[in-house]
Amino acid sequence: MKALRYFGARDIRYESMDDPKLASDQDAIIKIDRCAICGSDLHIYHGQGFSEDFGFCVGHEAVGEVVEVGRAVKRLKVGDKVMMSAAVGCGACASCLAGNVVNCANNAAGCYGLSHRLEGCQAEAMRVPAADFNATVIPEGITTDQALMMTDSLATAWFGCRNAEISSGKTVAVVGLGPIGLMAVEGAFVLGAARVFAIDLVPERRKLAEQLGAIALDPADAPQIIAEMTKGRMVDSIVEAVGADATISLSLRLAAKRGTVSVIGVNQDRRFDFPMGRAFAMGLTFRIGTCSVPEEWPELIPLIQAGRLKPERYISHVLPLSDGAHAYDLFDGRKDGALKMVLTP
């Protein structure tokens, strides 16, 4: 089959690799209909990946059609249209069954497209382990593109909003307006935020946030303007969707007393200078971590079906998989209005 494979920094190649095969009776093979590039894929693209492997297939956001199932698979059948959670679990332990894949008791927690251990989905086909759990039939009233956004991006944005303790009447800031950040802006309003400050360097992305009803700000201006508009009180809830040291530091500066900072951007810096004294004095809550995607679906599905969340609006490009290297370049360089990049095999 054809797939996008990682060979080093900024070296994503559209090449042939072996077709996926069932590795156990619980597996399924999925023919990919659409896949997407996530912001965390850019860490791999920059050579700052999560393993030492080369030549593996990248990507962890996909929807497709079941073409083969193992003998132990009971819930899925050939022909089903499914969405695959980026967060993978054993599907049998109490934690996984509750949707909390990250805490899988059988050490099966993982993510596609980080190494050869679980080959990615930016390909013509993929293997899904514990398929009855890790692949879900797309619900009625959910489009293919909406389902694709639910496989990671929208779930992560919602997870970030929940961790930020956003509720009715609160003032919110979202730092970083890539696809996940913009979805967090939308989610904040759904959760009842009275005012949302949307912060990013890119003017085009700030304009999109304004269209959602947010007050869009450049990072350099944000602390002063927010201080003026809140009369020095600052922000109750902050969702940080970049993962850079500078944006995490900015997020902490924006927090009000007893405010909550929720970091969903990937940060791999083991020497981040956390302002412990200020956080203690302010009584801040700081949360950071990986989203257990299936845990968010019970709340997200009815919101999408009701039209209250429209994650598909952030898809900026739909390109053939063969143009994958170009898609990565566009997304990385924020060129041509690049937001959510969707690829079709």
Residue 279 has pLDDT above 90, yes or no: yes
**Mean of per-residue pLDDT scores for the chain:** 96
Report yes or no: 238 and 185 within 8 Å, Cβ to Cβ: no
DSSP sequence for 118-161: T--SSBSEEEESSHHHHEEEPPTT--HHHHHHHTTHHHHHHHHH
The confidence band for 49, taking pLDDT boundaries of 50, 70 and 90, is confident
Q: What domains can be seen in the chain, in order of their start residue?
A: 2-152+292-344 (3.90.180.10), 157-288 (3.40.50.720)
> Who has greater pLDDT, 189 or 99?
189
Structural element, H or E, at residue 7: none
The per-residue pLDDT for range 247-277, each reduced to its tens digit, is: 999 999 999 999 999 999 998 777 889 999 9
Distance, in Å, from the CA atom of 238 to the CA atom of 197, rounded to the nearest integer, reads 9
> Who has greater pLDDT, 269 or 6?
6
Report yes or no: 259 and 172 within 8 Å, Cβ to Cβ: no
The confidence band for 101, taking pLDDT boundaries of 50, 70 and 90, is very high
The pLDDT of residue 109: 87
Min mean pLDDT across 20-29, 30-39, 137-146, 264-273 is at 264-273
The pLDDT of residue 108: 85
Share of the chain above pLDDT 70, in %: 100
Distance, in Å, from the CA atom of 8 to the CA atom of 30, rounded to the nearest integer, reads 27
Instruction: State both tokens at 328.
Output: 């990565």
Report yes or no: 147 and 202 within 8 Å, Cβ to Cβ: no
CA separation, residue 183 to residues 63, 74, 90, 198, 313 (Å)? 19, 34, 29, 11, 9
DSSP single-letter state for residue 289: -
**SS3 of 242, please?**
coil
Q: Report pTM.
A: 0.96
Residue whose pair of structure tokens reads 């600052």 in the numeric block = 234
Instruction: Give the closest residue to 123 by CA, choosing from 172, 64, 168, 194.
Output: 64
Residue 218 has pLDDT above 80, yes or no: yes
Instruction: State both tokens at 277.
Output: 């004294």
Nearby residues of 90 by Cβ (< 8 Å), 6 or more positions away: 96, 104, 105, 106, 108, 130, 133
The per-residue pLDDT for range 155-204, each reduced to its tens digit, is: 999 999 999 999 999 999 999 999 999 999 999 999 999 999 999 999 99
Instruction: Give the closest residue to 178 by CA, choosing from 115, 224, 241, 87.
Output: 241
**SS3 of 195, please?**
strand
Instruction: Give the closest residue to 20 by CA, choosing from 129, 100, 138.
Output: 129
